[in-house]
Structure 1
């Protein structure tokens, strides 16, 4: 159906003064949510602009990078604030344009008129307006004029996940419009579109505009509900001026002999790149000047691709100028959709899909073959394995030319078998890597996304793989072998100690299932020490165990063993992992960690054993200092903070970049550990390490040796302490007699401890320490060190303090420190919820509920309207929220039952008018960590963002279980 003049903008009077009003009803603001990284797209939320090009059929034109190539959901907001859901019906395989569809019947109170696509009006010097939603502001208008009409495509980034256009001219125009204006129509005074806004250079105020020749060609098919035929030679062409062509040997006379009229063209097309193994490989060569195709002279992109798009599956004859002479070559035009991926496999947090022509065209000598991996969040293919090698070519020594081959191999591997992966760097294929990885113990279900050509939505189906683990009962072993690791060895001391530590060292990997406790989805690696082989306990830094929702593995010999996080100490920076001794055949020596005779003192000579992944290094050090640990908290994610700890430092101080933990020995005994404090991804510090006396670790190990459950909560005073010198505390009112008494019982002390900060909000009528209080005695005994104030076994303590210059005695209640060993995580509307962790209590104005949102999934519906995390959820719809169980109940009640039917329709490639995805319009009430209250409405998305929970039992060896809600 063609657009008549009565239904188009250009039928109105030609005046810039009235243009904005005539365009207003045809321009829309688009908002998108994109759950996964796919091809050259991104994951997250964004906004853009679109404009109606067919009002009767409900078609909106925008940018490809606004729509995204992968799974996505979109809404359009019209000038009267009416919103409709959009179908991401078609995006061009190469160029930066896309068509959305909506149901016109859903649009109320406004009747948009189509903006005509008139590419032939474009000319240098044409006065234009760019009308859009810059910075998400309604109807921003930027004026300018078209300047260069034959610009080669702009280059945005060499990152393989960044979209870059190719094989087309771009227009250039002055005047700048920022984020949110992508997809804006570029119109003349008649209101006709001559180009579409794609990008800009903020440094020089230039707009990059896409011509509409191929857009208009595609539109004629899209309005009929068809996919436009598109061809490719898997070749990147580049426009060169006639002057540069002459430098390549194509003189004016030679050009004229082939029908090239320099007066009516600005240059010629040259071959910039030929993708290996493509239809033009061995046919065209870099540097070739294209003269004609099938006898038609071509000097620009529109003429060339008009022929190629019309010759899909056919041979074309190309006349090229090469090595100072003309030659004719033939190539078969390939359907570009054959090299445009439409499926995505999610394993863990990784996304796998076929290599695309668009990525190969911007890569370095890489064919359209292999499996691209995205979503590098420390899961199956992790940052530790490879940061740049993201194109998988082999799995278990079998080639993976495409996703089908990859899935076939994966489905035949047992879940406990190692996976040998060969991958290459897309930017530099010479960078090849071979590494071994494993399937995760727990993750979200493995699924396969498949795009529907009828709607642009993606169906989701379970991926059945890998095979179950091989039962260890099927592996014949002798009784001696099976029981060897259970035989208790005599304790190691003296010179044997170093050898035993070497034998007990294991290399640990922590792969996150999701973000928790203020830490993001980053993989951690380091070393641990098997401290009880009969029980299966491994001591490690809390930097390894900082995220309890992780899959832990360690390697010993030829085995990679699964472990669970038995305990994260909430006060001291160490963790303990638990494995099943029956899973391994290895005889660990018995280290027999016991109380060291006294703590390390300044000047003590010690030996530090630094364990890397393979080797163990020994070095001699001296205890340099002892003092309070003061670890800062990132105000973005509030990770775990450590306080009220006295730690030691060494000289020289060994590097723990990979080791993460070192063992400190003195007098032939293990006297301490040196650990890195966990840092969040926003930290600017490379390393921050502390030395802990072994006496701080042993009580926890003794409990875990005899109990299947975590220790009872650590009880603390509601205060963070700092050490003040004698002069200061005397000036603050501490009598000299107290100072003399303290010096008599603890000659090495440097002063008393003063409250620097209250740890959490408390009722004003409750007895509590206040900032500035100086603690003299605890239960009648002078405070000789911070260990006397760090933690307690009783519900209250008697303190003698100095407050406001006066000495008082108070009975102060102790409070349990927030447990870092969380047992439940709920994800609803892309919002990850858990119980508040300690730093939240430390910084929050109030604890509004026990459902705390630390982070959101990329593109989550919960990020709609405003971007916030670090907040408490207090209401979902009409349901009051206080606990995570309340969230689970609300999620089940709000689930849209149409999701299964919708997914089945998409899988069957059925057409339907509406772009609405199953979900609910829900009001949520939240309280930010600073106390501000926010109420907003969101639209849940049960298709791409289903609700689920991770639950772990109370035992220290219980594993996480994924439960769909």
Structure 2
């Protein structure tokens, strides 16, 4: 707005306002007292000597608004904080350009006027920084602006100004907001702005009194006698006291406190929404009942947790919110919060004005744009009749107009109010187009209806004829053959019968059928392209009218008239309850979510409302299905609804294969597909969740699934089929024997339980919604059921492992994973149906010819003659937390078939190497290379795993816990004298001091020289003795020139030590290190490493936690805590944005192991979680447990290493024992104490 002089200059505007208002409210007796108000005010140049306190005794009374009505003037945006700029200034003349001058002039005009002299004026100052100052009517202003600035500065500092003694009444006093707390409850409040509508003050007052109970009888000049009327005790006018449109900003400031930033966590996938945390915006529409309006896609339709932060207030308090109502079609929802939960927030609400959305209306979009808590974006309404925007997912609004403006809204602003000049919400921000300024807003006509019904505790009826309409222009309608007379009647008719259009914005089109849900009654009546003419005999071109007609006819038939192929057709459509077509139950099994086909999916994908929709495939059905598919049959039984799917699943035993028939909507081919999946109970219990009337999700008791056949039964079935073949059977020769010992190994796990999967594994898109690794296996011991494979195929023990022998499939478990090399030994139940392979105890050499037998991408066996190009040290870049190959010389094969990445290398019928692969990320791409891993390196371990008699033993691997790198002697000799090893050691390493056969053999193989220490494992035997770059010269008194020699020597020392003490866990080894020209000799304690990989993990508030793996320590020292492997989507950990790689403690209690984490109580409302990353940086976050959706669970491999299991656990305070739970997670959660606050 322009300066306040435009409103208060020459006293005329305010004086006319005061006279008109006061006279109209005090009867004719006051008219004579204000006849002189039009005269200019007396502007004396003499500075007042004292304040006239005694002339206004009523102002000091407790209720100053008793008696005649008062005129309250609020000077908005007063620049009080800039008063210090004028203190000490030498300028004598006033500075008209200073913002404080405007406030000074306004006060002078008001206080020297006749309204104030009559004791009818109350003035307040409202600064730009939200400070309220009460002005005594007896205040005498100083003559200069500098003196006034000093007065204001004292008020802001001391909160009161008396002008004389401190005991005197204050003439200026800072009061606490909001201002309404200091005014009568019934007083009207008006804002004056140049952007508002031009009015005459007398007409304005007349209209204002018309709203009173007594009508016009109290107005001056009326024909009747003046009458006493019950009028407000005060009338408030807000006037800008700064440059610009202060009143517009003031209107915005009064409603900004009603805007909230929403933090929503979808705890489960539902419909096409994925679980996870996201943000949005909402605003209060009912401060007494605690109702917040936002978008449907912000709060989601499935299970969720949400909080609202009142970012428009300084305290920014947060409250928990729940869903009060979600519209099944339109993109809006109402949330509920407890107003009593706010302690330091002034509640206010935003008034909804659906009829204020007009073309050309200037707007402000206030919300959490780009998740920046509070942003204000400007725009101008350009359209009000746009069709609903097309969204990427299944949910798409329909049968409604959208308004449009170039506001530049982005993510996070969904649910923001679209405000007009008066601070009223005229639309709801809903969507935007990426890369443009386009913003799309939902009109509020149906929102107001739903809000009023909820405020009245009445049900919100919603009807549908399962048909989506779109708005087309008159021109397009004429091309379709619609009668011009009908179109002309719309153009010339009354445009006010709708809600979207008006006389200034008349309709320009009609409604046309866009799509009809197949299989419904409307599909037999309506066709795509039909033009809607009338409903119940009335023309319909407005979506609001269409919605209103359907909502009022739920369960009845709706008579409609359509235009099709040049003819009018009068039809009747059955109106269905729209709420019934939205899922209210879902089935959870194996981390998968299944519910009935929702209306939005049926409408957008053009499928019938029958079948079970796969929202999240999970671990069981995810073996073959992906999310966003529809299940129609299970084992030949139709599954039209969720109950039928649940009944079919109940009949399937654990580890049993069953057939699933499904379709994938939205693809080019929607044909029915069939797949076989295996039931696996260890991925969790099956339970059903139901949406209660209060919009809360309640789980039912977990169903009791059929157990799997016993191990003995499975063995008899295997023998009956003739698949039990012992290694003593007659063995074929050469390649036939080798191919017979080859099998296919498949490893699967959920993405959520990826602990050590390499970068080159199949992506979820290639193997359902799970991680899938496939490779070759070799029968190590047929009688014992042992299978040899690599880490690229089986990266971790916890997962589903299957071994396929031609047409037989067996479940397997990980018996041993080599901690250093890519070697894994699996075990199946019973004997293997294929003969044991024969292994060669000899190394490969450069140029050697051998046979490569492996599997291609389709799982078919491939064999080819290949040559060893060279034996090279395998160096794989290390990703912390992921296992990688170290200390191995592998065979590089350049003439191998390109599609073979897994298999064996053999000479004759003996296997010389495992053909494996390694992968890593480089510049954002996966780089994969293959190599041959010599098996003679593993002979000591294989002998322990496959003994001639007895059960397999868990082998132990002696390791210095360093990563070695080969270096040539020539490079060492080129070093300067101060860095070069001594001549004596160079001679020993080169085998020059004597006839060293091993040195000569190493030279011939191309791997001779020495080994450098490339990296050191934190906490290992060489830490902190060794340093990167040291030469490892001798181990146990023997010179070593390669990583193979180091391992061979350690293995020999280990065997010698175990002969005397089989229970030993480590040995003392003497090592020699060469650092520069120094020789370092020391004894180190070499540990015996067991099987690698986590065999026990915890799911704690959505964090998958394990003991810190050895691969994490290879990168350097790590914090003393538990390793965070994954953060599950939609969990409390994700909602709290837990950072780091390690949990150090909870509520001040250290958590060095899993047992310590189990002892931490979870009955508090908030837990303080201390974490750290791999670099040692620490973080502290508050986490809110959610035991209903995220109970504590454990996944482990049993002591026999034969199977894995997952179950909920109930920690006991002060105890490390775990209690396996055979009941549902709901029953377990119900045993927890109630959450208590911090």
Give the structure-2-normalised TM-score. 0.70
Q: Which runs of 5+ in 1 are unaligned?
A: 896-918
Q: Would you say 1:175 and 2:424 are equivalent positions?
A: no
Aligned equivalents of 1:248 and 1:360: distance in 2? 27
Contact 1:172–1:208 (CA under 8 A) maintained in structure 2: yes
Q: What is the match of residue 1147 of structure 2?
A: 877
Q: What is the match of residue 916 of structure 1?
A: none
Contact 2:1015–2:1115 (CA under 8 A) maintained in structure 1: no
Q: Deviations over 1:342-385 (max 9, x none)?
A: 1111111211111101112221x3111111112245x2222x52
Q: What is the match of residue 243 of structure 2?
A: none
Aligned equivalents of 1:12 and 1:462: distance in 2? 59
1:401 match: secondary structure: coil
Q: Would you say 1:696 and 2:946 are equivalent positions?
A: no
Contact 2:1192–2:1208 (CA under 8 A) maintained in structure 1: no
Contact 1:8–1:115 (CA under 8 A) maintained in structure 2: no
Q: What is the match of residue 256 of structure 2?
A: 24
Task: Specify whether residues 786 and 57 from structure 1 end up closer, same or farther in structure 2 by C-alpha distance, changes over 3 A only.
Answer: same
1:702 match: secondary structure: helix
Contact 1:645–1:790 (CA under 8 A) maintained in structure 2: no
How far apart are residue 395 of structure 1 and its match? 0.7
Q: Would you say 1:959 and 2:1171 are equivalent positions?
A: no
Q: Would you say 1:313 and 2:555 are equivalent positions?
A: yes
How far apart are residue 574 of structure 1 and its match? 2.8
How far apart are residue 312 of structure 1 and its match? 1.1
Q: 2:594 aligns with which of 344, 352, 360?
A: 352
How far apart are residue 824 of structure 1 and its match? 1.9
How far apart are residue 31 of structure 1 and its match? 1.0
Q: 1:401 aligns with which of 610, 624, 640?
A: 640
Q: What is the match of residue 125 of structure 1?
A: 360
Q: What is the match of residue 876 of structure 2?
A: 631
Aligned equivalents of 2:1138 and 2:478: distance in 1? 55
Q: What is the match of residue 892 of structure 2?
A: 649
Contact 2:429–2:440 (CA under 8 A) maintained in structure 1: yes
Q: 2:382 aligns with which of 117, 122, 147?
A: 147
Q: What is the match of residue 576 of structure 1?
A: 825
Q: Would you say 1:69 and 2:271 are equivalent positions?
A: no
Q: What is the match of residue 1097 of structure 2?
A: 825
How far apart are residue 224 of structure 1 and its match? 3.3
Q: What is the match of residue 902 of structure 1?
A: none
Contact 2:1008–2:1042 (CA under 8 A) maintained in structure 1: no
The 5 A counterparts of 1:178-193 are: 178-193=410-425
How far apart are residue 334 of structure 1 and its match? 1.1
Q: 2:613 aligns with which of 326, 351, 372?
A: 372
Q: What is the match of residue 1071 of structure 2?
A: 799
Q: Deviations over 1:129-171 (max 9, x none)?
A: 11112233332111111112122222232x55xx432332222
The 5 A counterparts of 1:773-792 are: 773-790=1030-1047, 792=1050
Aligned equivalents of 1:257 and 1:213: distance in 2? 25
Q: What is the match of residue 510 of structure 1?
A: 748
Q: What is the match of residue 706 of structure 2?
A: 467
Task: Specify whether residues 653 and 57 from structure 1 end up closer, same or farther in structure 2 by C-alpha distance, changes over 3 A only.
Answer: same
Q: What is the match of residue 834 of structure 1?
A: 1106
How far apart are residue 316 of structure 1 and its match? 1.0
Task: Specify whether residues 305 and 6 from structure 1 end up closer, same or farther in structure 2 by C-alpha distance, changes over 3 A only.
Answer: farther
Q: What is the match of residue 845 of structure 2?
A: 601
Q: What is the match of residue 935 of structure 1?
A: 1180
Aligned equivalents of 2:632 and 2:923: distance in 1? 34
Aligned equivalents of 1:115 and 1:7: distance in 2? 19
How far apart are residue 73 of structure 1 and its match? 0.7
Q: What is the match of residue 438 of structure 2?
A: 206
1:156 match: secondary structure: coil
The 5 A counterparts of 1:9-408 are: 15-78=247-310, 79=313, 80-157=315-392, 159-160=393-394, 163-250=395-482, 252-256=484-488, 264-363=506-605, 365-377=606-618, 379-382=619-622, 385-387=624-626, 390-408=629-647
Aligned equivalents of 1:405 and 1:682: distance in 2? 49
Q: What is the match of residue 785 of structure 2?
A: 536
Q: Which moved more, 1:529-538 or 1:393-402?
A: 529-538
Aligned equivalents of 1:476 and 1:864: distance in 2? 48
Aligned equivalents of 1:258 and 1:197: distance in 2? 30
Q: Deviations over 1:623-681 (max 9, x none)?
A: 1232222223447xx4222222221122323345xx76212211221111112336699
How far apart are residue 945 of structure 1 and its match? 1.1
Q: Which runs of 5+ in 2 are unaligned?
A: 1-183, 194-246, 496-504, 759-769, 993-998, 1055-1066, 1211-1238
Q: What is the match of residue 811 of structure 2?
A: 562
Task: Specify whether residues 9 and 96 from structure 1 end up closer, same or farther in structure 2 by C-alpha distance, changes over 3 A only.
Answer: farther
Q: Deviations over 1:459-508 (max 9, x none)?
A: 1223315322244767896997499726432574633x434533652453
Q: Which moved more, 1:931-940 or 1:794-803?
A: 794-803
Aligned equivalents of 1:39 and 1:807: distance in 2? 68
Q: What is the match of residue 852 of structure 1?
A: 1123
Q: Which moved more, 1:194-203 or 1:811-820?
A: 811-820
Task: Specify whether residues 475 and 722 from structure 1 end up closer, same or farther in structure 2 by C-alpha distance, changes over 3 A only.
Answer: closer
Task: Specify whether residues 589 and 739 from structure 1 end up closer, same or farther in structure 2 by C-alpha distance, changes over 3 A only.
Answer: closer
1:214 match: secondary structure: helix
Q: Which has the higher helix share?
A: 2
Aligned length: 917
Task: Specify whether residues 862 and 223 from structure 1 end up closer, same or farther in structure 2 by C-alpha distance, changes over 3 A only.
Answer: same
1:821 match: secondary structure: coil
Q: What is the match of residue 746 of structure 1?
A: 1002
Q: What is the match of residue 903 of structure 1?
A: none
Contact 2:491–2:507 (CA under 8 A) maintained in structure 1: no
How far apart are residue 182 of structure 1 and its match? 1.5
Contact 2:1167–2:1182 (CA under 8 A) maintained in structure 1: yes
Contact 1:122–1:194 (CA under 8 A) maintained in structure 2: yes
Contact 1:317–1:329 (CA under 8 A) maintained in structure 2: yes
Contact 1:389–1:432 (CA under 8 A) maintained in structure 2: no
Q: What is the match of residue 836 of structure 2?
A: 590
1:522 match: secondary structure: strand
How far apart are residue 424 of structure 1 and its match? 0.7
Aligned equivalents of 2:443 and 2:864: distance in 1? 67
Task: Specify whether residues 25 and 703 from structure 1 end up closer, same or farther in structure 2 by C-alpha distance, changes over 3 A only.
Answer: same
Aligned equivalents of 1:324 and 1:10: distance in 2? 57
Q: What is the match of residue 987 of structure 2?
A: 737
How far apart are residue 244 of structure 1 and its match? 2.0
How far apart are residue 951 of structure 1 and its match? 3.2
Contact 1:508–1:553 (CA under 8 A) maintained in structure 2: yes
Aligned equivalents of 1:63 and 1:932: distance in 2? 38
How far apart are residue 106 of structure 1 and its match? 1.6
Q: What is the match of residue 440 of structure 1?
A: 680
Q: Deviations over 1:763-793 (max 9, x none)?
A: 9996522111122333343334322235834
Q: Would you say 1:669 and 2:883 are equivalent positions?
A: no
Q: Which moved more, 1:280-289 or 1:785-794?
A: 785-794
How far apart are residue 812 of structure 1 and its match? 3.9
Q: Which moved more, 1:167-176 or 1:931-940?
A: 167-176
How far apart are residue 260 of structure 1 and its match? 8.3
How far apart are residue 230 of structure 1 and its match? 1.0
Aligned equivalents of 1:506 and 1:960: distance in 2? 24
Aligned equivalents of 2:339 and 2:752: distance in 1? 40
1:775 match: secondary structure: strand
Contact 1:271–1:287 (CA under 8 A) maintained in structure 2: yes
Task: Specify whether residues 245 and 875 from structure 1 end up closer, same or farther in structure 2 by C-alpha distance, changes over 3 A only.
Answer: same
